[in-house]
Amino acid sequence: MTNTTFSSCEFNHGVSRAKRATQNGPVFITDRGKPAYVLLRFEDYQRLTKQRRNIAHALAMPGAADIEFEPTHA
C-alpha cells in the first residue's frame, strides 16, 4: 500500500490523478501544508469502518435519539 499526498491546489487541478492514486492506497490532501483530508476508494472505506447496516446500528448512531419516530401498526 502506498500513501500519496496532494496539496489542495494539486488536488483541485488533478482530481482524476488523485482518484487513480487511490488504487494504490489512501491519498492525503493537505491544506496549508497540514494533512486535512483523506481520499479512499469506497471499498476501502467500507472495509475500514466495517459498515454493516441494520436497524440496531442505525438506532445506535449518535444523534439517533433526536429523531422523532413513532412506528405505526399495520
Q: Give the HSE-up count for residue 45: Cα atoms under 13 Å, Cβ half-sphere.
A: 7
pLDDT greater than 70 at residue 64: no
Residue of 23 and 72 predicted with greater confidence? 23
What are the pLDDT digits (tens) for 12-34? 999 999 999 999 999 999 999 99
Average pLDDT over residues 47-54: 73
What are the grid coordinates assigned to 70, written together? Answer: 413513532
- Complete domains list, the chain, with CATH: 4-61 (3.40.1620.10)
pLDDT greater than 90 at residue 56: no
Q: In 1-74, where does DSSP find H-type helix?
A: 8-13, 15-21, 42-49, 55-60
pTM of the model: 0.64
